[in-house]
Amino acid sequence: MTYLPNIVFAIILFCGIGYFAKNVKKLFRNINLGQDVDVSDNKPERWKNMARIALGQSKMVRRPVSGFLHVVVYVGFVIINIEVLEIIIDGLFGTHRIGLSVLPTSVYGFLIGTFEVLACLVFVSVIVFWIRRNVIKIQRFWKSEMTSWPKSDGNIILYFEMVLMSLFLIMNATDLHFQGLNSGNVISQYIAPMFSGLPETTLHFIERSAWWIHIVGILIFLNYLYFSKHLHILLAFPNTFYGKLTPKGQFNNLESVTNEVKLMMDPNADPFAAPAEGDVDEVPAKFGASDVQDLSWVSLLNAYTCTECGRCTSECPANLTGKKLSPRKIMMDTRDRLEEVGKNIDANNGEFKDDGKQLLGDYITNEEIWACTSCNACVEACPVSIDPLSIIIEMRRYLVMEQSAAPTELNNMMTNIENNGAPWPYNQMDRLNWKDEK
């Protein structure tokens, strides 16, 4: 009977981690539905980017207020989680504050004291975040894509953090033994008086309840990640690692096109020649992307990493002038569609069954795709190296090369280039006329 709590704890821990692991596997599977790209280059630079941008939060602080608050929550979150280690050991072995029996009281007190201060700072920061979202109503949190689930998701995460931090402090405040040590109860000593006068058994009951709800809350939060924009706390790291290293203005050159163009320009090529032996199985390449599977896996990782902060959208010239395009929506749509495709695969024994839908058209409209100026403001603004522009360009490629569905004016422009080597209908022979004009 005395082992019952340990067993219950072990089962909860096992289920919590097990279900999360199952979803992580699904996450990997879904990301791998994307096209392969070679990102094995420049490892040192990639590690440096990850250290600087994800670990070091270098791009977060470009906006000082939200950046500073985010650093507080981030540092707090990472450091306070050390405490989870003690909770897990205590839970599994039925000990109470195992740290006290392995560390000198002063060291233990210092650690817990640090956690308490951070918990308090996190709590305050999260309240400010909530106020920014719900009271001040900062514009980027109230764009048209931020209704229903995305809006609730943002608040639920904040509530989770408020509750977890409170529980941690209450757990400490109602722990008579810990308060008796008077070491490390930096914040909780001020909360303890709120419980004064309660019988010891009641206090113990509150302490135990806070302890259990805290750890169960953490496990629920962990499992909430997969369904939430909050996945960024994990994926920001690989995402900054695999982020684009080439100049932002450089778009990739499609290799499948290069091969065809070379063939067209080779005077010795025989257009009617039978394909070489090896080429027979080759699936004819689709140019550009109309659905998530056509995008690179890095774009899909981007989509799962996006935490919908909207810094991209708030700097997008198209969005700022009232156009439908929102880079954040491009990322959210990509994730939603990817999830839909993933569920389809799960429901059909591992095989995707055509559902008559695709990312382009059913989620993202042509109007959004054509409103982009390719200015890279969104890419520059993203604190975790997400590249919405590459998705937009892949979709333009699909529209132009697979569907011939460019706006008429752009078709005229391209015809001009084909006919006279300039986007305007001027004669090639007049190219040097400027020399003699005044």
Partner 1 sequence: MSEQLNVPTMEELMAQGKQPDILFWVGSAGSYDDRAKKITRAFVKILNKANVNFAVLGTEETCTGDVAKRAGNEFLFQMQAMMNIEVLNAYEVKRIVTCDPHSFNCLKNEYPSLGGNYDVLHHTQFIKELIESKKLEIKDGVFNGKRITFHDPCYLGRANSEYDAPRDVLATLNANLLEMKRSKSTALCCGAGGAQMFKDAEKGDKEINELRTEDALKTNPEIIATACPYCMTMMSDGVKVKEKESEITVLDIAELIAQSQGL
Task: Name the site residues for partner 1 (rule: CB under 8 A).
Answer: 246-251, 253-254, 257-258, 260-262, 264-265, 287-288, 315, 317-318, 320-325, 367, 370-377, 379-381, 393, 395-401, 406-407, 409-410, 412-414, 417-418, 421-424, 426, 428-435, 437-438
User: Per the structure block, which two tokens stand in for 320?
Assistant: 């700022």
Kindly tell me which of 3 and 434 has the beta carbon lying closer to partner 1: 434
Kindly tell me which of 105 and 373 has the beta carbon lying closer to partner 1: 373
Minimum gap (Å) between residue 57 Cβ and partner 1: 17
Number of Cβ within a 10 Å radius of residue 128: 17
Distance of CA 146 to the CA centre of its chain: 16
Number of Cβ within a 10 Å radius of residue 100: 20
Q: Which residues pair with 364 in a beta bridge?
A: 360
Going by C-alpha positions, the residue among 95, 91, 105 that lies closest to residue 180 is 105
Kindly tell me which of 5 and 421 has the beta carbon lying closer to partner 1: 421
Q: Which residues pair with 156 in a beta bridge?
A: none
User: Per the structure block, which two tokens stand in for 374?
Assistant: 């390719």
Minimum gap (Å) between residue 399 Cβ and partner 1: 6
Give the span between the Cα atoms of 215 and 87, in whole angstroms. Answer: 7
Kindly tell me which of 94 and 423 has the beta carbon lying closer to partner 1: 423
Q: Give yes or no for a contact between 389 and 397, defined as CB atoms under 8 angstroms apart.
A: no
Q: Give yes or no for a contact between 191 and 175, defined as CB atoms under 8 angstroms apart.
A: no
Going by C-alpha positions, the residue among 330, 337, 340 that lies closest to residue 364 is 330
Minimum gap (Å) between residue 332 Cβ and partner 1: 19
Kindly tell me which of 135 and 265 has the beta carbon lying closer to partner 1: 265
Minimum gap (Å) between residue 325 Cβ and partner 1: 7
Kindly tell me which of 203 and 318 has the beta carbon lying closer to partner 1: 318
Kindly tell me which of 265 and 280 has the beta carbon lying closer to partner 1: 265
Kindly tell me which of 185 and 319 has the beta carbon lying closer to partner 1: 319
Q: Give yes or no for a contact between 232 and 384, defined as CB atoms under 8 angstroms apart.
A: yes
Give the span between the Cα atoms of 76 and 116, in whole angstroms. Answer: 9
Minimum gap (Å) between residue 432 Cβ and partner 1: 4
Q: DSSP state, 252?
A: P
Instruction: Give buried/exposed letters for 369-395 (b at 16+ CB in 10 A, else e).
Output: bbbbeeeebbbebbbbbbbbbbbbbbb
Minimum gap (Å) between residue 251 Cβ and partner 1: 6
Minimum gap (Å) between residue 297 Cβ and partner 1: 20
Minimum gap (Å) between residue 343 Cβ and partner 1: 30
Minimum gap (Å) between residue 370 Cβ and partner 1: 6
Residue at 390: amino acid letter: S
Q: DSSP state, 364?
A: B
HSE at residue 184, side-chain half, CA atoms within 13 A, is: 24
Kindly tell me which of 161 and 333 has the beta carbon lying closer to partner 1: 333
Tokens 């095989």, residue? 351
